[in-house]
Chains A and B, each alone.
Chain A
């Protein structure tokens, strides 16, 4: 699957992302990205409520109100300019984490890329958690999808060199993708912090630190808390 995704990236996503980034001015790219982000907020609010996180839900709600009104329908990210709290980026994968579901093994989904079984389930459910998909009629409901695909292409273009370095320069791009994805994902669902680290100065040969091999072998199990 990793090989398949690599060939998709090489053949389609990479050239499309580079072309998109080169063809469209940065400001327009940012506006499209802002628009896509704003449309994702209702889904995040639903997930924050499911997690019992009223604070994140209301912060996202105010952000949506500000960006939809002052930000001209979500085209401008006024909330960030006003120093409002960052958006929660809540999704159903995170909701499952809050509900105590285990992460499951790392997998790569066709076209979408790195995931875990928990997050793959989360993604599927998230297709239905965004209330906008129920309230908008047919052509309008595709604007959001189109905008988020454009946002993805724009990211592939913007961070092109970094992603190229990961996928094509690393000694084992599968191992590197897995390591980066899992570290970043655990950070996002667990809302940050390095509390799950072990101290590398503890060099007991029997400890997990020197056991090596697995990407996250010197993280403690985040569920042990």
Chain B
């Protein structure tokens, strides 16, 4: 009898412990499936913008909306500043992040008319180190399809993509070079660089 109670007790506690350990994990962690679903959403939005045939300025606005909603703009902006992010004040960082978001939207949104008649397709997903890499292809009219990858992470507290890699070329790393050059041109003056950034792209 006593042994029966003990066994039942043990099973009960064991079950409870297992549930406690797994449930929150299942609810929070980013999985391959959720990463892929997120990118599928981004791609659907992008395809809708391409197919809309709107004038360029409207497309740029739409693209900025997509970028704001699905990308970790704070992290991308900060990492393109590189080491200089450490000496920037909080207000400079805020101004820079805003300017950077519109700059990226202008620079890449302008290219959307070259995508006319094209379509982005999500193909596969795999875990790489601490993030999930969702791979897709861009099919354009009259040219070979090219490779595009979204890097998705939940380390910001939300499921967001933190980089977009086209044929091996990372948006984040390329813009770091560009921002570095802009900063050099202004001899390291962050405010002057932010003013330039508002005009660039």
Contacts and interface: CB of A to CB of B under 8 A. Distances in A.
Interface string B165-189: 1011110111011101110110000
Interface string A199-222: 111000100011111011011000
A192 B128 contact: no
B70 to A, nearest CB: 16
Interface string A177-194: 011100111111000111
Interface string B122-133: 000000111101
A199 B180 contact: no
Q: How large is the interface on B (under 10, 10 to 19, 20 to 34, 35 or more residues)?
A: 35 or more
A62 interface: no
Interface in B102-160: 107, 110-111, 114, 128-131, 133, 142-145, 147, 149, 151, 153, 155-156
A146 interface: no
A197 B129 contact: yes
A162 B114 contact: yes
Contact of A200 (B165, B168, B172, B177): B172
A211 B153 contact: no
B40 interface: no
Nearest to A189: B168
A16 interface: no
Contact of B82 (A172, A175, A178, A210): A210
Interface residues of A, number: 42
B22 interface: no
B174 A176 contact: yes
A197 B151 contact: yes
Contact of A171 (B107, B162, B172, B182): B182
Contacts of A183: 168-170, 173-174
Contacts of A179: 173-174, 177
B83 interface: yes
Interface of B: 75-76, 79, 82-86, 107, 110-111, 114, 128-131, 133, 142-145, 147, 149, 151, 153, 155-156, 162-163, 165, 167-170, 172-174, 176-178, 180-182, 184-185, 196, 200
Given A30-B142, A188-B168, A197-B170, 15 more contacts: A159-B114, A162-B114, A171-B200, A172-B184, A176-B181, A179-B173, A180-B174, A183-B173, A183-B174, A187-B147, A194-B165, A205-B86, A210-B83, A210-B85, A213-B82
By Cβ-Cβ distance, the 4 closest A-B pairs, closest first, are A187-B168, A212-B82, A172-B181, A171-B181
17 contacts: A161-B110, A161-B111, A176-B178, A179-B174, A180-B174, A183-B173, A184-B168, A188-B167, A194-B149, A194-B165, A200-B75, A200-B172, A209-B79, A211-B82, A212-B83, A215-B173, A215-B177
Interface of A: 26, 30, 80, 86, 158-159, 161-162, 165, 169-172, 175-176, 178-180, 183-188, 192-195, 197, 199-201, 205, 209-213, 215-216, 218-219
